[in-house]
Amino acid sequence: MGKELQRVTQVNSRTGEIVEAGVDLSELAERLVATATAEGVELTGPNGLLTGLTRQVLQSALEAELANHLGYDRYAVDGRGSGNSRNGTTPKTVRTEIGEVTVQVPRDRAGTFEPRIVAKHQRRLDGFDKNVLSLYAKGMTTGDIAAHLAELYGDEVSRDLVSTVTDRIVEEMAEWQARPLEPVYPVILIDAIMMKIRAGTVGNRPVYVAMGIDLDGHRDVLGMWVGPTGGEGAKQWMNMLTELRNRGVQDVIVVCCDGLKGLPESIRATWPQTTVQTCVVHLVRNSLRFASKKHWKRLSGEIKEIYHAPTVAAAETRFAEFADEWTPMYPAMVEMWRRAWGEFTPFLEFPLELRKIVYTTNAIESLNARFRQAVRRRGHFPNEQSAMKVLYLVAKQRQHNRQNPTGETAGWKGILNVLAMTYGDRLGLN
């Protein structure tokens, strides 16, 4: 087994990748598990089989790097009189995905060797950091992560180390928040979620999220902003939209949003030609809050007839009938619809291909659901930065077995053709 492991761990000195294998890797994995089971040996931990294999891979990679740096292999005749030679080793312990591993880092007499597999001052391999960030994105606290890793790897992991790893993304997050954007977006979806963040005292703070759909149909989170305690306001919206404009967004065809106070006016002030569309799903959901559950099915069906109407005139007729029927029982619900009517109906003037993506903020609500899942177990965050780190990691994380949240919108080519015919002059497609 030992010789086979040595043959497996021949490594590319530049990339660290295995370039030759003496045995099939799946077969090797089966042997490792079989050995661990038969002999009662742990796979992970200080004396685990995987730990030993990882140590051997790293050691082989370091030796290969030094041989490449010197220009000759160990004990090679052509190394005599070369002007530089091997000069012993220095022990170094690094944290990996399977726990701590100690390797012997080789030295050269000239002191010019700079390993890349395990660089100078490097104490953690990338896989360890990725694990920490993945757990952080799932809403685990630094204490939770430290305890989990200690249990998993069998050695102590401090909370300070976990904080150091997560703090590495702060600069990356700031660059992401300030990155240039596309000059035109057919659709931008805007929503807000509430989070408990400490600022002296713990309070509910709104976090605004903007998701854009570009001319290629790709969805992208354009930015996230923590608002003041007390909810939304026109000043906050203007600051947010001005930032998007300063980052390059010159025009937006449609902005779809929930009934956020002051937002429609701020959108029109930023992009005068933009159509503001109220999220119909939110409107339906808010309608049911005013009604008894026994009427929900009937109300949902009648409301659907309104927003599925082929024209604005047909929708107005159907709404008039709806209002006559339900005003005596639920006057506040009907009044809510009247107030929202001006921002509810624009999508009825759009071609059918466009309606589905502009009449609901489902795409951004799906993202918000992931946000809420990540922050639910935290209770509250000690500051804005810790909250934004979690949201950023969630926003950037690809979801397995789900459509990529930044992937192309379904049926986009047909939608793009309609956009070109309807708004070609604004989109630059003609």
Tens-digit pLDDT profile for residues 13-29: 334 344 444 445 456 55
Cα 343 from chain centroid?
31
* pTM exceeds 0.75, yes or no: no
Question: Which helix or strand (DSSP H or E) is residue 310 part of?
Answer: none
- Rounded Cα distance between 263 and 253, Å, is 16
For residue 276, give the H/E element and its range.
strand 275-278
pLDDT tens-digit readout, 232-256: 567 788 889 999 999 999 999 989 8
Tokens of 10: 């021949």
- Collapsing DSSP to helix, strand or coil, 127 comes out as helix
Nearest to 52 by CA among 115, 96, 109, 83: 96
Amino acid, single-letter form, for residue 298: R
Is 141 in contact with 378 (CB distance < 8 Å)? yes
Tokens (6 digits) for 361 = 């903020």
**Which residue numbers in the chain have pLDDT < 70?**
1-62, 77-79, 81, 94-99, 101, 103, 116-141, 143-162, 164-165, 229-233, 259, 352-353, 358-362, 377, 398-408, 430
| Extended strands (E) in 2-160 | 10-11, 18-20, 86-96, 99-108
